[in-house]
């Protein structure tokens, strides 16, 4: 394995980039492309683990794809990929390895960080999480009054929330009957109030997920939940007043995902009930670690193991497939093609699977926190646009909301459509298979976006000439179709890893560090400085800018209670 350069290659100086600039001036017409090549759909479709991915409705031809693959070679994609999987410190601003992939490596694989094989440690923590989950699921773990746990509340934010809640929602058919999970993240007190309002304190277990156990939002919410628990238990007479009773209750109703065992103990959680993870796992890549403890409790260790195996299957595809057949690499390169050569600024992810309704929100953090950078990993300014806004909603809801812009707007919006062949709930409306009706929309939308409708086709329908222009669809709107047999734990893991590696590919082309997130820090730092001003400290108010002073004074004048 060759070591990647400490200075990123400027993609704009490569031969392939120049060729792509020339090719971008030559329009690819999808109607003509399909008419000219009856095998286009077959040639531009690929299998990746259990996923079938059709790239044929993208604005590319063989020359464009060849140039994109050459670009990947000229910026060193495979070398940087191999360095990541080997545990090299490619997160340069934090001097860390990037090894979320090690979270799903099977036992026996060897990955070293600082001379230590991390895979046995990963499985040691995983086994501990599994053992805990089995206790909760079996009823062996009970609350302070001896009642079994029926609701698990995960308290986290960012990667400690978005991943677990997305996976839980996606895999609801696999949740053990009688168990449910809820997720608290927002520091808005309404979040805690609503999530706990109808719960029984005697049957509720809280998981506090914070690596350092210092995250402002998470620890504030954890204290609110602790107060709710103790107040509720005391009000019902379930526990007596006093510190000893409170300590016993907290120990039975709180566990932690953290490595700061001293702070965990100070909170009242038994350090034996803390599950650790490592600095080489970024938050947005951590759902396969102990951060997924709430999911393990809900769906069980066997299903979570299948989830990890799905991620690993996509990892192997990314590592072992030639770039010309490598689905994550090709999809990442296509995103570069649209961002840098077609001025696309957003990217829609449209799951035709209701259980994936939180998947676009999950991808927002993964993609935009990773690739929202304006300097390269050596500190030099970027030489291209980087990143795009990821967004989306499940179909068919989106069709009745924002598809108008995708179909007939002036902006190019590449879109990924995701669907499964076998639904979890195969319902019928009379004799009609509703899932088939649903997928008819999935197939029709990508066809409509690709091929559109000409003015002559509109006229042929008898449309009044005055409104013909309004009913023309230009087509040539690029989409990728991703299909899976069913939304199983393995398939969900494959989808997550697919987008992780898409994001990585784009970052390599742009020469950025996709694994730090300094951009989230300034606002958090300023919030701490502004907090005394919000509380009425006049000297703190005087230190703020004029707009902030005005807003704080308006707030204080109108706050009731």
pLDDT tens for residues 197-225? 999 999 999 999 998 898 999 999 999 99
**Are 287 and 159 spatial neighbours (Cβ–Cβ below 8 Å)?**
yes
- Give me the chain's average pLDDT, please: 95
Task: Give yes or no for residue 335 having a pLDDT over 80.
Answer: yes
Rounded to whole angstroms, the Cα distance separating 158 from 291 reads 11
- Is 478 in the same domain as 527? no
In-domain check, residue 370: yes
In-domain check, residue 85: no
Report CA Rg, the chain: 26
Tokens of 215: 């995250």
DSSP-assigned letter for residue 176: P
Sequence length of the chain is 561
**Are 323 and 72 spatial neighbours (Cβ–Cβ below 8 Å)?**
yes
Q: Which of 493, 510, 527 is the last residue of a domain?
A: 510
- Is 505 in the same domain as 525? no
146 half-sphere exposure, CB direction, 13 A CA radius: 0
Tokens of 133: 């989950």
In-domain check, residue 67: yes
In-domain check, residue 89: no
Range of the domain at 286: 102-301
DSSP-assigned letter for residue 101: G
**Are 219 and 213 spatial neighbours (Cβ–Cβ below 8 Å)?**
yes
- Is 63 in the same domain as 126? no
Task: Give yes or no for residue 3 having a pLDDT over 70.
Answer: no
**Are 164 and 294 spatial neighbours (Cβ–Cβ below 8 Å)?**
yes
Cis peptide before 396 (omega within 30 of 0): yes
**Are 52 and 483 spatial neighbours (Cβ–Cβ below 8 Å)?**
yes
- Is 45 in the same domain as 107? no
pLDDT tens for residues 179-201? 999 999 999 999 999 999 999 99
Catalytic residues: 369, 400, 524
First to last CA, the chain: 65
pLDDT tens for residues 58-106? 999 999 999 999 999 999 999 999 999 999 999 999 999 999 999 999 9
In-domain check, residue 313: no
In-domain check, residue 220: yes
What is the model's pLDDT at position 1? 42
Say whether 351 sits in a helix, a strand or coil: strand
Which residue bears the tokens 């005055």?
466
**Are 487 and 353 spatial neighbours (Cβ–Cβ below 8 Å)?**
yes
Overall number of domains in the chain: 3
User: Of all residues in the chain, what percent are helix, strand and coil, respectively (each to 5)?
Assistant: 55, 15, 35
- Is 376 in the same domain as 436? yes
What is the model's pLDDT at position 5? 61
Q: How confident is residue 322, by pLDDT bands cut at 50, 70 and 90?
A: very high
**Are 389 and 347 spatial neighbours (Cβ–Cβ below 8 Å)?**
yes
Task: Give yes or no for residue 2 having a pLDDT over 50.
Answer: no
- Is 368 in the same domain as 506? yes
What is the model's pLDDT at position 228? 98
Tokens of 163: 């991943």
* Distance from chain centroid for Cα 326: 21
- Is 285 in the same domain as 332? no
What is the model's pLDDT at position 524? 79
- Is 334 in the same domain as 291? no
pLDDT tens for residues 417-460? 999 999 999 999 999 999 999 999 999 999 999 999 999 999 99
> Cα dihedral sign for 217, 363, 378, 114?
positive
DSSP 223-285: HHHHHHHHHHHHHTTSS-SSHHHHHHHHHHHEEEE-S-HHHHHHHT--GGGEE---TTS-GGG
Rounded to whole angstroms, the Cα distance separating 177 from 150 reads 9
- Is 431 in the same domain as 470? yes
Which residue bears the tokens 């089995």?
134
Look at residues 296, 277, 282 and name the one whose alpha carbon lies nearest to residue 365. Answer: 282
Rounded to whole angstroms, the Cα distance separating 487 from 492 reads 6
User: Could you give the angle at the alpha carbon of 274 between the alpha carbons of 179 and 209, nearest 5°?
Assistant: 65
In-domain check, residue 155: yes
pLDDT tens for residues 383-422? 999 999 999 999 999 999 999 999 999 999 999 999 999 9
User: What are the φ/ψ torsions at residue 211 (nearest 5 degrees)?
Assistant: -55, -50
User: What are the φ/ψ torsions at residue 433 (nearest 5 degrees)?
Assistant: -75, 110
DSSP 352-413: ESGGGTTHHHHHHIIIIIHH--SB-TTSPBPSS----EEE---TTGGGGTTHHHHHHSSS--
- Report the DSSP beta bridge partners of residue 349: 416
Rounded to whole angstroms, the Cα distance separating 394 from 438 reads 11
What is the model's pLDDT at position 415? 98
Residue 469 belongs to domain with CATH number? 3.40.50.10490
Sequence-distant (≥ 6) Cβ neighbours of residue 552 within 8 angstroms: 530, 533, 534, 541, 544
Task: Give yes or no for residue 519 having a pLDDT over 60.
Answer: yes
What is the model's pLDDT at position 4? 53
Kind of pairing between the strands at 432-433 and 428-429: antiparallel
Q: How confident is residue 9, by pLDDT bands cut at 50, 70 and 90?
A: very high
Look at residues 308, 283, 282 and name the one whose alpha carbon lies nearest to residue 295. Answer: 308
Q: How confident is residue 163, by pLDDT bands cut at 50, 70 and 90?
A: very high
- Is 271 in the same domain as 418? no
User: Could you give the angle at the alpha carbon of 386 between the alpha carbons of 29 and 55, nearest 5°?
Assistant: 35
- Is 506 in the same domain as 376? yes
In-domain check, residue 1: no
DSSP 454-500: -HHHHHHTT--GGGTGGG-B-----EEEEEEEE--HHHHHHHHHHHH
Say what percent of the chain tops pLDDT 90: 94
Look at residues 269, 313, 275 and name the one whose alpha carbon lies nearest to residue 297. Answer: 275
Whole-model pTM over 0.75: yes
- Is 329 in the same domain as 182? no
**Are 493 and 278 spatial neighbours (Cβ–Cβ below 8 Å)?**
no
User: If you average pLDDT over each of 257-261, 504-508, 538-542, which comes out highest?
Assistant: 504-508
More confident residue, 520 or 463: 463
**In the sheet where 389-391 sits, what is the strand order?**
45-48, 51-54, 479-486, 415-422, 346-352, 389-391
Rounded to whole angstroms, the Cα distance separating 418 from 392 reads 11
pLDDT, average across residues 534-560: 93
């Amino acid at each position: 394995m060759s070591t990647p350069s400490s200075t990123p290659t400027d993609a704009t100086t490569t031969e392939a980039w120049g060729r792509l600039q020339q090719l971008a001036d030559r329009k690819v017409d999808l109607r003509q492309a399909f008419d000219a090549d009856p095998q286009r759909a077959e040639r531009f479709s690929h299998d990746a683990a259990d996923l079938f991915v059709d790239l044929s409705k993208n604005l590319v031809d063989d020359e464009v794809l060849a140039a994109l693959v050459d670009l990947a070679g000229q910026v060193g994609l495979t070398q940087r990929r191999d360095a990541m999987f080997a545990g090299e410190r490619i997160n340069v601003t934090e001097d860390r390895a990037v090894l979320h992939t090690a979270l799903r490596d099977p036992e026996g694989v060897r990955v070293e960080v600082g001379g230590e094989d991390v895979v046995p440690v990963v499985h040691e923590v995983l086994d501990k999480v599994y053992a805990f989950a089995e206790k909760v699921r079996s009823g062996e773990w009970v609350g302070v009054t001896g009642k079994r746990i029926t609701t698990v509340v995960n308290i986290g934010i960012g990667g400690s929330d978005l991943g677990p809640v997305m996976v839980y929602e996606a895999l609801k058919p696999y949740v053990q009957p009688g168990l449910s999970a809820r997720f608290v993240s927002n520091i808005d007190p309404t979040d805690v109030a609503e999530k706990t309002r109808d719960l029984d304190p005697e049957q509720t277990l809280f998981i506090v997920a914070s690596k350092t156990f210092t995250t402002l939002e998470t620890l504030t919410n954890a204290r609110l939940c602790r107060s709710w628990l103790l107040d509720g238990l005391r009000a019902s007479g379930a526990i007596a007043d006093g510190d000893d009773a409170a300590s016993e209750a907290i120990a039975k109703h709180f566990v932690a995902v953290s490595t700061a065992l001293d702070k965990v103990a100070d909170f009242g959680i038994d350090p034996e009930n803390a599950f650790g993870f490592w600095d080489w796992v970024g938050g947005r890549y951590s759902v396969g670690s102990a951060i997924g403890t709430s999911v393990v409790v809900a769906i069980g260790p066997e299903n979570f193991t299948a989830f990890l195996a799905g991620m690993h299957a996509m990892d192997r595809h990314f590592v072992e497939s030639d770039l010309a057949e490598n689905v994550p690499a090709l999809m990442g390169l296509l995103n570069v093609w649209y961002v840098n050569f077609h001025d696309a600024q957003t990217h829609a992810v449209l799951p035709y699977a209701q259980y994936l309704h939180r998947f676009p929100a999950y991808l927002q953090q993964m993609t935009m926190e990773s690739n929202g950078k304006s300097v390269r990993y050596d500190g030099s300014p970027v030489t291209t646009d980087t990143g795009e806004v990821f967004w989306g909603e499940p179909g068919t809801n989106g069709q009745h909301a924002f598809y108008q812009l995708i179909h007939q707007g002036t902006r190019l919006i590449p879109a990924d459509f995701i669907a499964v062949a076998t639904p979890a709930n195969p319902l019928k409306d009379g004799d009609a298979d509703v899932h088939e009706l649903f997928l008819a929309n999935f197939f029709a939308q990508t066809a409509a976006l690709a091929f559109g409708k000409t003015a002559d086709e509109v006229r042929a329908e008898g449309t009044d000439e005055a409104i013909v222009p309004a009913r023309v669809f230009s087509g040539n709107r690029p989409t990728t179709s991703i299909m899976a047999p069913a939304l199983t734990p393995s398939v969900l893991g494959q989808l997550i890893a697919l987008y992780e590696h898409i994001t990585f590919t784009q970052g390599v082309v742009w020469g950025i560090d996709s694994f730090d997130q300094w951009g989230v820090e300034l606002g958090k730092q300023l919030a701490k400085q502004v907090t005394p001003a919000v509380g009425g400290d006049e000297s703190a108010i005087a230190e703020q800018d004029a707009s902030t002073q005005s807003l704080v004074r308006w707030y204080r004048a109108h706050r009731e209670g």
